[in-house]
Structure 1
C-alpha cells in the first residue's frame, strides 16, 4: 500500500469530543470522560490518538474539535497545536447532529467548498495508514456529491454494533470500495448478526461521516429544519463579537438527535448515501468487555491489566482489571471478571454483564449522587 502524500485538498476533520461513556463507569466520569483516558496503554489519550490519525490528512489548521465548555482546558492541554479558532464549545450536550452540524456550518462559511469528515474522539483504530487510505477514498466519493460513511468489515457476529447493508457499487475514480447504502440496521440478535457476517454484504456502522459541508447542511435542512436554522444562526455569528451572545440564546433551544437519524438514514432512503469499506481494526470500546478484548489482543483466558502502577495478584483468573489506586487486588479462580478500582468507587462484574454498568449509573443519578458521576 503506497503512502499518501500531503493533506487532502479542501478537507477538514471534525472531532466530536463529547459523551461520558457511562458503560465505562467508574473509570469514565463527567469531568474525565472516555476520550481523556489512555485505554490502550499507548501513552496517549484516545483524543490524542484521534488527532494523530487525522493530522496527516488535514494538517493542524484543518482540525476542528467540538467539546463541552467544562473540558476546554483538558482538550487544549492534550492538543497544544489546536487553533483557538478551531475549538467549538458546547454549553450543554445536544447529540451528534448539533455538534457535527455546527462545525460543518462554521467551516462552510469560512471555506464554501470544504469537505468535512467527522471522527469520534473515543474510538480505537490500530492501522492508521490503512485508515487514512480509506478516508481518502471517502473524500473522493464526497467530491461527487454523496454523503459518505465508512463501514468496517466485520470480523465476528457482534451484537454490539449497528450494521450497514451495502447496495450497488459506485464507479468513482479513486474509490474502488465505494457502494451505495441500501439501509441501516440497529443492533441485531446473534443469529441475525451471524447471517450478516456470512453474507459479506453488511458492514459495521462506525459513525464516521465524510461529505461536502453544503450537502450535509442541505440534508439537515430537509429533515431537521429547526436545527438547521439554529446552526446557521450560530455559525453566522461565530467569527464575530456576537458569538457568545448568539450561542447562549440559540444552542439550548436546538433539538437533540443523532446524525444517523437526521442525516444518514434519510440520505440512504433518497439514494444519496455511500459507504466505503474500511479494512482496518476498529473498536468503539463501548464497555469493559470490549476493553478486555482490546487489551488482551482478543486472546481468551487472559487477564488484562490497565493502570500505571497497578498491583494485581492473579491465580487462574481472566478478564480485566483497571486500577487507579494503590490497593493490591487479588484474584483467585475467577473467569471473565471485570474489576475497576478508583479512589471513591469500586465496580465488580463480569464481561457477560458489562453492558449493564449503565444501569448502575442510572441508579446513582436517581440517588442524587452526582459527586460519583
Structure 2
C-alpha cells in the first residue's frame, strides 16, 4: 500500500520533530566520543609522564651514586647545588646516628681547585681566588644548643651536632668542618662550644687545634659565642675576616656554598656585616626572613645587596606572601665580616657585652687569667642572639649586606625536616638507624628511630614520629614535631633530668 510519492517509503518515514530529536542525540553522542578521546589521550600522556619521571628518578639516583663514589675516590667536593643531603641507597647507611671515636675517620682537607659556580642572578660569576683558600679568612663554628626539638635523640650532653643524622658516616659538626676547611685550613678554623662538649668535639675533630677551641662556661646565645671568637681573633689578626657557620646545619651543593662565602668575604672587606640569604623552597614559618634591597654594584661581588630589613618568623599567610614577592630570603644565621668591625658594632649597640668580651679576650692566652676572667665576667654577660644585638640595628643604618645563594640548606630543626633528608620508598616511613629493627604494615610517611635495639612494629598509622631510645620513648606526629621541646620542659619540671 502506497502513501504517495510525497511521503516516500513508510519504513523511513519520520516526523519532523523526531528528526530533530535524532539529530540532537547524534550530536551528544559525537560530543561524548570527543570527550572520551581527550580523556584517553590525557591518560596516555599522564602515563607517559609518569614513565619519564620514573626514568628521571633512576637517572638521578645513578648520578647521585656516581658523584658520591667520585667524591670518596678523589677527595674533591661535590659540584653543583643539587648535591643530595643524604645517601642514595640504604646500603650506604650506618647502623646508628651515634658515632664513636673508633668509627670516626680523619678526612684530609680536599685539594684546592678552581671551579666556576652559578651564583644568584649572575650565572657566569666565578670564584675570585686562584684556590679555595680565602686569604685572611677565619672560620668560626658555634657549636651550642641541645637540639631539644630532636629529643630524645639529641641530649644536652650529646646534642645533635655530634650525631650523624644523615647516616653518611660523619656527624653534623664533622660535615661542617669538611665543608669549611678548604677556605681557611686548620690553622684558621675555630670552634666555640660549651665545656661539657670539649672532649667529644676534640675526638670528632682531631685536626682542630687546641688553641682554636674556645670554650664558654655556659650558654649565652649566639652574640656572646660569636663575639668571643671575634674578640680573640681580632687580637691575633686585626685585619681578620671571620665567617660564622652553625655546627648543626645541613647544606647541599658545596661549590655554590663556597662561592657564596667567597663573595661575602669580598663584601666584608668593604666595611659591611654580611649575611647569606637562602632562596626559600617553601613558605616556612620556622625561619626568619631577609628583605633584599638595592645591589651594591661591587665588581667581585655582583650578587651582593643591601639588607632592607630582617623579618621575624612569619605566619603561614605572611610566609607565602614573602615567597610570592621574590625579594625575601631565609635567614640562615650565617655572618661574614671583619672581626674588628663586628666588635665596633657591638661596642655601639651593646657596650657592656663588648667590654666584657674584650676583657676576656685580653686574658685568653693565659689559662689562669682566662679562668678567672670567665668566672668573673661570663655569668653577667647579656644573653642575646646576634640578629637582635647587632644585625637588625645595623641594617636600619644600611650597614648590613646579603649575598643571595643557590645552595640547599636546612637547620634540621625537628623530626619532620629530618625525615625529609632521609631516603625511603614511596609512602614508606623514614628510618634513622637499623632497618631490621623496624617492621611496618600499612604505615605511610613518618620517621622511626630504633635506638634502643629492640623491635619497633607499626600497623595502620601514618605520619608518626617514633623515637625509641633505651631510656625514653617519644611518639608524636610530623605535624606537631616542632612542639617536642614542650615535652623536654615537662620532663625537666617533672624531675626527669636524667633523660635530658
TM-score interval, normalised by the smaller of the two chains: over 0.9
Q: Of 102, 108, 116, which aligns to 1:2?
A: 116
Query: CA separation of 1:115/1:96 partners in 2, compared to 1, >3 Å: closer, same or farther?
Result: same
Matching of residues 35-184 of structure 1 within 5 Å: 35-184=161-310
Q: Counterpart in 2 of 1:188?
A: 314
Contact 1:152 1:280 in 2 (8 A): yes
Contact 1:310 1:324 in 2 (8 A): no
Q: Of 390, 401, 411, which aligns to 1:284?
A: 411
Instruction: Tell me, in whole angstroms, the C-alpha distance in 2 between the residues paired with 1:250 and 1:310.
Output: 51
Q: Counterpart in 1 of 2:84?
A: none
Displacement after TM superposition at 1:129 (Å)? 1.5
Report Cα offsets for 1:215-239 as digits up to 9, x if no partner. 1111111111110000000000011
Report Cα offsets for 1:81-121 as digits up to 9, x if no partner. 10111000111111100000000000000000000000000
Report Cα offsets for 1:6-58 as digits up to 9, x if no partner. 41011000000010011110001011001000111111000000001110001
Q: Counterpart in 2 of 1:199?
A: 325
Displacement after TM superposition at 1:128 (Å)? 1.3
Q: Does 1:252 align with 2:375?
A: no
Q: Counterpart in 1 of 2:352?
A: 226
Q: Does 1:326 align with 2:453?
A: yes
Displacement after TM superposition at 1:254 (Å)? 0.7
Local SS of the residue matching 1:117? strand
Question: Which range moved further: 310-319 or 36-45?
Answer: 310-319
Q: Does 1:266 align with 2:380?
A: no
Q: Of 454, 468, 475, which aligns to 1:341?
A: 468
Instruction: Tell me, in whole angstroms, the C-alpha distance in 1 between the residues paired with 2:395 and 2:427.
Output: 41
Contact 1:310 1:323 in 2 (8 A): no
Query: CA separation of 1:90/1:200 partners in 2, compared to 1, >3 Å: closer, same or farther?
Result: same
Q: Of 139, 153, 161, which aligns to 1:27?
A: 153
Report Cα offsets for 1:157-184 as digits up to 9, x if no partner. 1111111000111111221221100111
Instruction: Tell me, in whole angstroms, the C-alpha distance in 1 between the residues paired with 2:375 and 2:415.
Output: 36
Q: Counterpart in 2 of 1:364?
A: 491
Give structure 1 regions of 4+ aligned residues with deviation exceeding 4 angstroms.
none
Report Cα offsets for 1:274-304 as digits up to 9, x if no partner. 010111110000011111112148x973311
Displacement after TM superposition at 1:142 (Å)? 0.3
Displacement after TM superposition at 1:67 (Å)? 0.4
Local SS of the residue matching 1:113? coil
Local SS of the residue matching 2:363? helix
Contact 1:169 1:178 in 2 (8 A): yes
Displacement after TM superposition at 1:310 (Å)? 5.3
**Between Structure 1 and Structure 2, whose CA radius of gyration is higher?**
2
Matching of residues 208-227 of structure 1 within 5 Å: 208-227=334-353
Larger RCO, structure (CA 8 Å, separation 6 or more): 1
Normalising by structure 1, we get a TM-score of 0.97
Displacement after TM superposition at 1:361 (Å)? 0.5
Local SS of the residue matching 1:158? coil
Displacement after TM superposition at 1:63 (Å)? 0.7
- Note the residue ranges of structure 1 that are not aligned, 5 or more in a row: none
Displacement after TM superposition at 1:200 (Å)? 0.6
Q: Which has the higher strand share?
A: 1
Q: Counterpart in 1 of 2:420?
A: 293
- Note the residue ranges of structure 2 that are not aligned, 5 or more in a row: 1-114, 118-126
How many aligned positions are there? 372
The RMSD of aligned alpha carbons is 1.4
Local SS of the residue matching 2:313? coil
Report Cα offsets for 1:231-263 as digits up to 9, x if no partner. 000000011242111122111111100001011
Q: Counterpart in 1 of 2:362?
A: 236
Local SS of the residue matching 1:50? helix
Q: Of 351, 367, 373, which aligns to 2:478?
A: 351
Report Cα offsets for 1:287-324 as digits up to 9, x if no partner. 11111112148x97331101146511112222111121
